[in-house]
Amino acid sequence: MAYSRYPHLEWYESSPGRWEREIDEAEQFYTYMAKLYEGTGRMAFAMTGFMSLSVQVSKDSVPQTTSRMIEDALRQAWLRLRFEHPTIASYVDYDVEQGKWLKSYTAFHRDSVDAQIEQWLDATFVLVDSRVSGIEWCNLDPLAPKLPTLFVISPASTQEESTEKIRRDLVIRSPHDIMDGLGTLQLLANLLKHASETFENPKSWSLTTPGSEYRNLSPPLRIAAGIPPILALEQQDRLQSIISRNILSRQSIETMALPFKRGPTIPGKHQRIAQEFSAPDTTHLLQACKNINATITHVYHAAVACALRDLQLRTQQSRQTRFISYALINERPKCTKPYSTPRHAASVYHSVSGANLVLDLTIPSINQQVESQSHQVFQAEFLTLVEQVQIFYHAIQNDKHHIALAPSFFSMLTPHILNPTSAPHQRPIPAPNDAPSVSISSLGVIDEIVTPRHGRFEVDNAWVAGEELGTGLGVFLGTWRGKLQVSAVWNEAWHDEGEVCEFLDACREVVWRGLGLGSVMAKGEE
């Protein structure tokens, strides 16, 4: 496991069976954010990966027996993932003696492997009997553990379901410095595949040599993508130019902020809701996007700006305002094999845009009737914004220097921790952001990542989200079996479900009106 350009980022055996390496800038950002909010008892940006699973009960089977077989198959599949993706059993902590943040992993040992397996499974494979669905359970402030953990939730079922179909909701909760959103979905996909195989044939997999799994530990993004240790002069100039433009973009103009409830200073529960569009409506939307050479991400990012503009305080005079945002970029395609594949799902292989997305809009005066604005004027404004968003995303995709600058972009966002050894209660919790915005993340076609059916195992829904502990709002886009899902995450200390639903409704109306699609109905997630 030698990577000569980055000896400090190589996994090395610090003592028999214990593997360590330093973290890179992407991992450090999420580590530091989690540490800053540690005093709240919650974990900033903790990943939640969800999959609703149904298994048909055969006519000659007893439901209770099938239920046990499902749970046994999931348990063995989770163990198999430990060998294939050992990074799921790693964690990041501060090493006082070395004065460094280290990601550490303890390998299985052949002399004590059975006890080690049971100890790890007892800690990270958790059966939950619940009277609510897994989606509802995710909004009940579930534990964000130090190690990635699989929760297998038995939701309340109807009598018909309990005799003909067994349902389990699977939830992976993980620190973000261990895996990102796309990686979480890939991990769920691998889990489903292995569980289905084990369900059909319990002897389909056997333990590999204990301790040898360290070979599958995932390196950080710098190594996976072959990012040079030092920026070239051209790249340094590019970075300084981006920093300067970002500073200028906030000067001499009002920037939009998401309204939130003033007063609370400590975050409460993270919450999530989702809207699902019908397959015909999704098809119409995709075609409308194709007609203007845009994607759903492009049009929704523009719609977020319009919907946020409509929440700003209106005065006697119309005025210019600015929407400032960013993009999250999946960097797996830029990684070398095998790091570009699901074999390294438990990793942080994405970046942020660095340069700001800047959209200028007009806030109408208090006396101006927005509804009276002609459709042609509204559509022209919206399509102009969509074009600007397209240019922004395409510039990132075509930027040969972006991946080299990605670590620097994370460093620009990473907060400073004065004393890493201080206890959580001794570390001040960040004050609420007085000018929050709305972020957007695109998950793409989720059923191309998580195959909906493996044998008798069928997935009804799958999604991923990051823990929101700030005053902002996070919007996620993804399609599942031909249906667009638009979800949002927020913190209940500063926002209510009703206002978030209204914001998603407003975004939907902007998209449909701006693209000339007429009316559409979206239903809530079940």
Q: Residue 227: what residue type?
A: I
The CA-atom distances, in angstroms, between 442 and each of 96, 173, 291, 445 are 38, 20, 20, 9
Enter the pTM of the model.
0.94
Contacting residues for 427 by C-beta, under 8 A, at least 6 apart: 35, 36, 38, 39, 417, 419
Residues 28 and 414: their CA atoms lie apart, in Å, by 8
Contacting residues for 492 by C-beta, under 8 A, at least 6 apart: 268, 269, 270, 271
Task: Classify 478 as helix, strand or coil.
Answer: strand
The CA-atom distances, in angstroms, between 238 and each of 234, 243, 244, 399, 410 are 6, 9, 10, 11, 15
Q: Residue 431: what residue type?
A: A
pLDDT at 506: 97
The two tokens of residue 172 are: 């992976």
**Residue whose tokens read 């130019």:** 241
Alpha-carbon radius of gyration of the chain: 24
Residues 115 and 93: their CA atoms lie apart, in Å, by 24
Please write down the HEC assignment for all residues of 289-351.
HHHCCCCHHHHHHHHHHHHHHCCCCCCCCCEEEEEEECCEEECHHHCCCCCCCHHHCCCCCEE
Which run of H or of E encompasses 431?
Answer: none
Contacting residues for 334 by C-beta, under 8 A, at least 6 apart: 225, 340, 403
Q: Of the candidates 480, 387, 486, which has an alpha carbon nearest to the alpha carbon of residue 442?
A: 486
pLDDT at 526: 56
Residues 331 and 399: their CA atoms lie apart, in Å, by 13
**Phi (first) and psi of residue 19, to 5 degrees:** -115, 140
Q: Is 286 in contact with 322 (CB distance < 8 Å)?
A: no
The two tokens of residue 184 are: 């979480």
Per-residue pLDDT of the chain (526 residues; tens, 9 = 90+): 444 689 999 999 999 999 999 999 999 999 999 999 999 999 999 999 999 999 988 877 788 889 999 999 999 999 999 999 999 999 999 999 999 999 999 999 988 999 999 999 999 999 998 889 999 999 999 988 999 999 999 987 644 445 688 999 999 999 999 999 999 999 999 999 999 999 999 988 988 899 999 999 999 999 999 999 999 999 999 999 999 999 999 999 999 999 999 999 999 999 999 999 999 999 999 999 999 999 999 999 999 999 999 999 999 999 999 999 999 999 999 999 999 999 999 999 999 999 999 999 999 999 887 655 678 889 999 999 999 999 999 999 999 999 999 999 999 999 999 889 888 888 899 999 999 999 999 999 999 999 999 999 999 999 999 999 999 999 999 999 999 999 999 999 999 999 999 999 999 999 999 999 976 666 666 5
Label the pairing between strands 457-466 and 47-56.
Answer: antiparallel
Neighbour-count burial of 312, counting CB atoms closer than 10 A to its CB (0-12 exposed, 13-18 middle, 19+ buried): middle
pLDDT at 423: 84
Neighbours of 373 (CB within 10 A): 12
Vertex 265, ends 148 and 36: CA angle to 5°? 40
CA–centroid distance for 170 within its chain: 16
Q: Distance from first CA to last CA of the chain, Å, rounded?
A: 45
Q: Is 140 in contact with 117 (CB distance < 8 Å)?
A: no
Residues 420 and 269: their CA atoms lie apart, in Å, by 25
The two tokens of residue 347 are: 């990793």
pLDDT at 440: 97
Residues 221 and 334: their CA atoms lie apart, in Å, by 10
pLDDT at 371: 59
Q: Is 199 in contact with 70 (CB distance < 8 Å)?
A: yes
Q: Of the candidates 42, 298, 87, which has an alpha carbon nearest to the alpha carbon of residue 184?
A: 87
- Residue 454's DSSP bridge partners are 457
**Element counts in the chain: helices (H) and strands (E):** 13, 20
- 231-240 CB contacts, 8 Å cutoff, 24+ apart: 231/404, 231/405, 231/408, 232/404, 234/401, 235/401, 235/404, 235/405, 238/401, 238/405, 239/354, 239/405, 239/408
Please write down the HEC assignment for all residues of 202-221.
CCCCCCCCCCHHHHHCCCCH
Residues 339 and 75: their CA atoms lie apart, in Å, by 26
